[in-house]
Chains A and B, each alone.
Chain A
Amino acid sequence: MNHIPYVNMSRTGTKLDWKKVNSELFTLTYGALVAQLLKDYENVEDVNKQLERMGYNMGIRLIEDFLARTGSGRCYDFRDTAEKIQTGFKIFLGITPVIANWSAAGDEFSLCFESNPLTEFVELPDHCLNLKYCNILIGILRGACEMVQMEIACWFVQDQLKNDNVNELRVKFIKRLEDAIPAGED
């Protein structure tokens, strides 16, 4: 390759806001992934499952990042958990969902948010009505919580892509996971 000469790269131009670009890169990349999955699977349900699985894999890593950045310790109770999840949304997606609709037992709450970076350039065509476009979020939450010994379930109650006014993500506490005994010890 030595016969190819170097070029001076300097040019006059505009400086881009890379934080915004980064968010768009994520949005568009996610969109390309969903499009690819829709091509690969015949069944929309399988796409939903695959998105959740990928989210789960991301979540179990993302939690490390979250804990390192925030330096937060264990959650006292589920309300504390809700606030930490809210912080997570703020750090990673730049949105602050509202915590609402607590169940009487205090084991279920909703996260409501109006803007969703994941769906910024998205419109669902009619044949995709069963597609849970943002299922990756659900996987991420589940994976992240599992790493801090908490089993949760979550699902979208309202979704702007399906013409609801807001996005409402419902989170339910299932159980505490006990520390497993290391293999080979009693």
Chain B
Amino acid sequence: MRQQIVDTKISSHVSGEADECLFEYLHTEMVNYTLSKSVNKKEKEEELCRLEWMGFSVGYRIIERLTRECSRFKDELDMIKFICTDFWISLYHKQIDNLRTNHHGVYVLQDNSFRLLEKVGTNSNKQYLQESPRLLAFTCGLLRGSLANLGIISTVNAEISTLPTCKFHVQVQQI
């Protein structure tokens, strides 16, 4: 399957849809813009929720288009699996590396080389570790929005310990 992904990557600039790097550059500009709205550090963290909100609205819309031809999901876990596989592959070009759950509404999605962090640094490089979380706010929102439109109300947090690995913690609100 890996081979397949590489192949489409090469052919992508022949047939050419909105090329992948365009999204990456746009995302960077959105982060810059959001952060430029504030001066001190505390405010900056508050500003990140605007980024999260933008992610939410994108996620809410895109999931509708992605699941048009899907068969009905069996349960919550099935939806999360869809997010980890098909959803992640089409948005971030690889699937989530591992998924954990306590079967009571907590899910941990780990990506060992997250697309938006890949070019920032590797294991040995801690230079940008502190700034990296801002690159995840949009995706947290994207996850939350997608789940919301599938009927799952949740909170999503992200954590980075070494680049470019990151974990998304999804906590489903039990109703």
Residues of A within 8 A of B (CB): 1, 3-7, 9-11, 13-33, 35-36, 40, 50, 54, 57-58, 61-62, 65, 69, 90-94, 117, 121, 136
- Give the residues in chain A near B135, CB-CB below 8 Å: none
Which residues of chain B are within 8 angstroms of A54 by Cβ–Cβ distance? 26, 29-30, 32-33
**Does B66 contact A21, Cβ atoms closer than 8 Å?**
yes
Contact of B99 among A1, A6, A16, A92 (CB under 8 A): A6
Q: Within the complex, which residue of A9, A16, A69 is in contact with B84, where a contact is CB–CB below 8 Å?
A: A9
Assuming A4-B102, A9-B84, is B33 touching A16 (CB within 8 A)? Answer: no
CB-CB under 8 A for A58 and B99, given A16-B90, A25-B62 = no
Which 7 residue pairs across A and B have the least CB separation, nearest first? Answer: A23-B18, A18-B90, A21-B90, A23-B17, A94-B16, A32-B54, A4-B100
Give the segment of B38-46, B75-83, B120-128, B150-158 that binds chain A. Answer: B75-83
Contact of B50 among A21, A36, A69, A92 (CB under 8 A): A36
Distance from B166 Cβ to chain A, minimum over Cβ atoms (Å): 13
Interface size (B, Cβ < 8 Å)? Answer: 55
Q: Which residue of B lies closest to A4 (CB)?
A: B100
Cα–Cα, bound, A90→B22 (Å): 13
> Do B12 and A26 touch across chains, with their CB atoms under 8 A apart?
no
| Beyond known contacts A20-B17, A21-B62, A33-B54: 19 more, CB 8 A cutoff | A9-B85, A16-B86, A16-B89, A18-B93, A19-B15, A21-B66, A21-B90, A22-B18, A25-B91, A27-B18, A28-B58, A29-B58, A32-B55, A32-B57, A40-B37, A50-B33, A62-B25, A92-B18, A94-B18
Instruction: Check A25 against B23 for contact (C-beta < 8 Å).
Output: yes
Contact of A4 among B71, B87, B106 (CB under 8 A): B106
Quote the shortest CB–CB distance from B168 to chain A (angstroms): 12
CA distance A23 to B20 in the complex (A): 8
CB distance from B158 to the nearest CB of A (A): 14
Which residues of chain A are within 8 angstroms of B98 by Cβ–Cβ distance?
Answer: 6, 9
Q: Using known A-B contacts A18-B89, A22-B90, determine if residue A69 contacts B13 with beta carbons closer than 8 Å.
A: yes
Contacts of A136 in B (CB 8 A): 26
Across the interface, name the chain B residue whose C-beta is closest to A21.
B90
Residues of A within 8 A of B99 (CB): 6-7, 9
The answer on a CB contact under 8 Å between B25 and A11 is no
Contact B58 A14 (CB under 8 A): no
Task: Return the contact of B100 from the options A1, A11, A17, A25 (Cβ within 8 A).
Answer: A1
Q: Return chain A residues, CB-CB under 8 Å to B25.
A: 58, 61-62
Residues in chain A near residue B116, CB distance under 8 A = none
11 A-B residue contacts at CB 8 Å? A5-B102, A13-B71, A20-B17, A22-B23, A25-B58, A29-B26, A32-B54, A35-B54, A57-B32, A92-B21, A121-B61
Residues of B with C-beta under 8 A to A35: 54, 57
